[in-house]
Amino acid sequence: MMIINRILGAALALLTSAPMFAGTYTFKIANPKEGTKLKIQWRTTGETDMVEVKDGVATISKNDFTAQYVKIYYGVRFSFIMYFEADKDLTVNIDAQTRELSCTGPSDEINKYLLHTPFAVVDPNAAGKEEADYIKTSDSVYYVNLELLKKADLPANFKRLEKKRLLFKSYSRFPLYPSHHPFLKKLDSYKPTSLFMNKMKELTVVDAECLNFADYGYYLMDAIQCQAFQGGDSNKEFMSFVDANVKDAKVKSYITDSYIYDIVSKKGLDGNDNLVDFYHKNVIDKKSMEKFDATCKQWEILRAGSPSPSFNAPDVNGNMVSLESLKGKYVYIDIWATWCGPCRGELPYMTKLEEQYEGKDIHFVGLSCDSNKSAWEKRIQKGDIKGIQLCIGPNSDFMQKYLVKGIPRFILLDREGRIIKANAPRPSDPNITKIFDELLNN
CATH number for the domain that contains residue 91: 2.60.40
pLDDT value of residue 77 = 85
Tell me if 11 is assigned to some domain: no
CATH of residue 429: 3.40.30.10
The C-alpha atoms of residue 391 and residue 368 are separated, in whole angstroms, by 5
| Residues 6+ away with beta carbon under 8 Å from 212 | 43, 44, 68, 69, 161
Tell me if 226 is assigned to some domain: yes
Contact between 127 and 134 under an 8 Å Cβ cutoff? The reply is: yes
Tell me if 10 is assigned to some domain: no
Sites in the chain below the pLDDT cut of 50: 1-4, 7-20
Q: Which helix (H) or strand (E) holds 80?
A: strand 79-84
pLDDT value of residue 167 = 97
| Residues 6+ away with beta carbon under 8 Å from 233 | none
249-267 and 286-300 helices, crossing angle to 10°? 20
334, 434: one domain: yes
Contact between 7 and 72 under an 8 Å Cβ cutoff? The reply is: no
258, 290: one domain: yes
Q: Which long-range contacts (CB under 8 A, 24 or more apart) does 50-53 make?
A: 51/27, 53/27, 53/29
pLDDT value of residue 13 = 42
The C-alpha atoms of residue 315 and residue 330 are separated, in whole angstroms, by 19
Tell me if 8 is assigned to some domain: no
The C-alpha atoms of residue 302 and residue 398 are separated, in whole angstroms, by 12
b/e per residue, 87-112, with b = 16+ CB within 10 A?
ebbbbbebebeeeebebebebbebbb
Tell me if 110 is assigned to some domain: yes
371, 321: one domain: yes
Contact between 407 and 340 under an 8 Å Cβ cutoff? The reply is: yes
Tell me if 4 is assigned to some domain: no
112, 129: one domain: no
pLDDT value of residue 437 = 96
86, 130: one domain: no
Tell me if 3 is assigned to some domain: no
pLDDT value of residue 10 = 45
228, 278: one domain: yes
| Residues 6+ away with beta carbon under 8 Å from 265 | 295, 403, 405
Strand 48-51, strand 22-30: pairing:
unpaired
179, 263: one domain: yes
The C-alpha atoms of residue 355 and residue 386 are separated, in whole angstroms, by 9
* Closest to 28 measured CA to CA, from 104, 112, 117, 109: 104
Q: What are the percentages of helix, strand and coil residues in the chain, rounded to 5? A: 45, 20, 35
3 state DSSP class of 61: strand
Provide the domain limits for residue 428.
312-441
Tell me if 253 is assigned to some domain: yes
186, 38: one domain: no
pLDDT value of residue 237 = 97
> 61, 82, 116 — which closes off a domain?
116
> 300, 322, 350 — which closes off a domain?
300
3 state DSSP class of 316: coil
Q: Mind listing the pLDDT tens digit for each residue in 243-302?
A: 999 999 999 999 999 999 999 999 999 999 999 999 999 999 999 999 999 999 999 999
pLDDT value of residue 17 = 41
Chain Cα centroid distance, residue 177: 21
Q: Could you give the number of structural domains in the chain?
A: 3
Burial of 403 (0-12, 13-18, 19+ CB in 10 A): middle
> 279, 300, 321 — which closes off a domain?
300
The C-alpha atoms of residue 333 and residue 350 are separated, in whole angstroms, by 11
Contact between 334 and 392 under an 8 Å Cβ cutoff? The reply is: no
Contact between 332 and 364 under an 8 Å Cβ cutoff? The reply is: yes
137, 112: one domain: no
pLDDT value of residue 88 = 87
Contact between 168 and 145 under an 8 Å Cβ cutoff? The reply is: no
The C-alpha atoms of residue 213 and residue 385 are separated, in whole angstroms, by 48
pLDDT value of residue 107 = 66
The C-alpha atoms of residue 78 and residue 90 are separated, in whole angstroms, by 20
pLDDT value of residue 15 = 37
160, 97: one domain: no
176, 90: one domain: no
274, 378: one domain: no
b/e per residue, 224-237, with b = 16+ CB within 10 A?
bbbbbeeeeeebeb
